[in-house]
């Protein structure tokens, strides 16, 4: 998401101790080892993840660039082509040509796309920044989101709906035309508008310097996501830009990813680059992702060092000539470990039938709790799914997301929603819910997927 002229940010890499998220109960399964692959995208796909890169439309004609892109990466993020100054340079006049060029390339080569970005204070045309009337700005923002998402509907896996809304070193929002004119509610407004525009795309909040768990900015974003999930505001994922110095990620990065995932959202590394590209730092970063079941994938911010917004740091996996650097092999190896996306634990290999389930209580308070459920299909592919279980202590589901959940007495039925019904063999889906409890809150003892008992 970085333009080439953007000044480099200084990022503190502070090691902290942090309490682990409590797991109240789970049917936990150990994955079978991922099959070795020879490209980044294929190796990530073995655990149900993606490995992507930022792409500039103007470089697609470079044969070295496009050859690496199409060989190695199965997810594409347009670097600048979907930002507001390109897509709507004047009010109501939209230009999707550069972005369409990238989208068409991706579709021709079987690559998925992340949309980047709908609402951001930077790379914003002057006419938007000059708006001072709240009703006008709200109408402009909602129309921009709706028009752009509608144009690309059905082609985008996930959107960075709002980008970098929090101030550095603070739990508060940064000053911007959106914050100054619309107030704190503009982020919620943007996410609700985005869900209405494309119910099938995952909706992400994306930011930098939120990798260290103890940092104020991290805590501010975490509190916002927790609030959104508790009130049913549609948010599906959080993007951690992961622009690191040569030391790599902070020691608390795994804790940060796990704690956000426990809220019921996917986590994604959206703009990874590491100064001087040390193999150990890259390997550690990738392992931090693949060891969290809801870490959906990783995007590096550029292909070759010469393509990077911080090219002087040589932070990527390929040098300026397109040659693999030592960090490439470290990443390829690290992608082969960890747990499958969406689940984890010990189970028969896919195809033996049944399912595996991870049930986690991420938070609990007097009379209430929030739970997250990941289910992995171990049988034949299905186009829709129903997961059933029974509560043993009178718990009641009060609100759910990423699934339709109903309850009759102690029996609970969760059905897929429109965008997560298809589960291939080994495929996973995740959803969450809030519930009430009184006295005790034990995990369900058994689950069934489409009537077949789960193992574990």
Instruction: Determine which helix (DSSP H) or strand (DSSP E) holds 334, and give its type and residue range.
Output: helix 326-334
Rounded to whole angstroms, how far apart are CA atoms 229 and 432? 9
> CA 366, CA 436: separation in Å to the nearest integer?
9
Residue 164 catalytic?
A: yes
CA 153 to the chain's CA centroid: 18
| Closest among 80, 227, 44, 274 to 160, alpha carbons compared | 80
Is 74 in a helix, a strand, or coil? coil
Give Cα separations from 196 to 163, 192, 203, 405 (angstroms): 19, 6, 11, 20
Diameter of the chain measured on Cα atoms: 65
Our answer to whether residue 271 is catalytic in this structure is yes
Q: Which of 164, 188, 189, 211 is catalytic?
A: 164
Provide the CA 328 distance to its chain's centre, in angstroms. Answer: 22
Report yes or no: 201 and 161 within 8 Å, Cβ to Cβ: no
Question: Among the options 81, 88, 211, 271, which is catalytic?
Answer: 271
Strands 452-453 and 447-449: antiparallel
- Taking the C-alpha atoms of residue 445 and residue 227, their distance in angstroms, rounded to an integer, is 29
Q: Which residues are catalytic?
A: 164, 271
């Amino acid at each position: 998401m970085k333009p080439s002229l953007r000044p480099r940010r200084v990022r503190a890499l502070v090691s902290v101790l942090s309490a682990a998220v409590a797991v109240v109960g789970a049917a936990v399964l150990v994955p079978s080892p991922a099959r070795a692959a020879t490209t980044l995208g294929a190796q990530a796909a073995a655990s149900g993840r993606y490995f992507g890169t930022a792409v500039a439309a103007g470089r697609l004609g470079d044969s070295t660039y496009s050859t690496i892109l199409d060989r190695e990466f199965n997810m594409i993020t347009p670097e600048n082509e979907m930002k507001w100054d390109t897509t709507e340079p004047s009010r109501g006049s939209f230009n999707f040509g550069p972005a369409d060029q990238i989208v068409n390339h991706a579709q021709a080569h079987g690559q998925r796309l992340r949309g980047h970005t709908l609402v951001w204070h930077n790379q914003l045309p002057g006419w938007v920044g000059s708006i001072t009337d709240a009703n006008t700005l709200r109408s402009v923002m909602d129309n921009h989101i709706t028009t752009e998402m509608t144009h690309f509907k059905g082609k985008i896996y996930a959107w960075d709906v709002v980008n970098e809304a929090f101030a550095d070193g603070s739990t508060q929002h940064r000053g911007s035309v959106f914050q100054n004119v619309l107030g704190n509610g503009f982020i919620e407004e943007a996410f609700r508008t985005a869900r209405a525009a494309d119910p099938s795309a995952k909706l992400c909040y994306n930011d930098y310097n939120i990798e260290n768990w103890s940092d104020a900015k991290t805590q501010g974003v975490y509190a916002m996501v927790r609030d959104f999930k508790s009130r049913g505001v549609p948010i599906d994922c959080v993007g951690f830009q992961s622009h690191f110095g040569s030391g790599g990620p902070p020691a608390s990065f795994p804790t940060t990813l796990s704690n956000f995932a426990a809220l019921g959202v996917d986590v994604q590394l959206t703009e990874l680059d590491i100064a001087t590209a040390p193999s150990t730092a890259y390997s550690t970063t990738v392992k931090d992702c693949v060891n969290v079941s809801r870490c959906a994938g990783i995007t590096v911010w550029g292909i070759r060092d010469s393509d990077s917004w911080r090219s002087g740091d040589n932070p990527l996996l390929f040098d300026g000539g397109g040659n693999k650097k030592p960090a490439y092999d470290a990443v390829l190896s690290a992608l082969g470990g960890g747990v499958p996306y969406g689940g984890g634990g010990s189970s028969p290999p896919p195809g033996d039938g049944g399912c595996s389930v991870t049930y986690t209580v991420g938070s609990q308070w007097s009379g209430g709790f929030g739970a997250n459920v990941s289910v992995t299909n171990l049988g034949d592919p299905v186009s829709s799914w129903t997961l059933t279980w029974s509560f043993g202590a009178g718990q009641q589901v009060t609100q759910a997301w990423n699934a339709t959940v109903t309850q009759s007495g102690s029996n609970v039925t969760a059905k897929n929603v429109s965008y997560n019904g298809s589960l291939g063999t080994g495929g996973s889906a995740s959803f969450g819910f809030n519930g009430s409890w009184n006295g005790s809150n034990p995990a369900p003892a058994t689950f069934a997927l489409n009537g077949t008992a789960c193992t574990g």
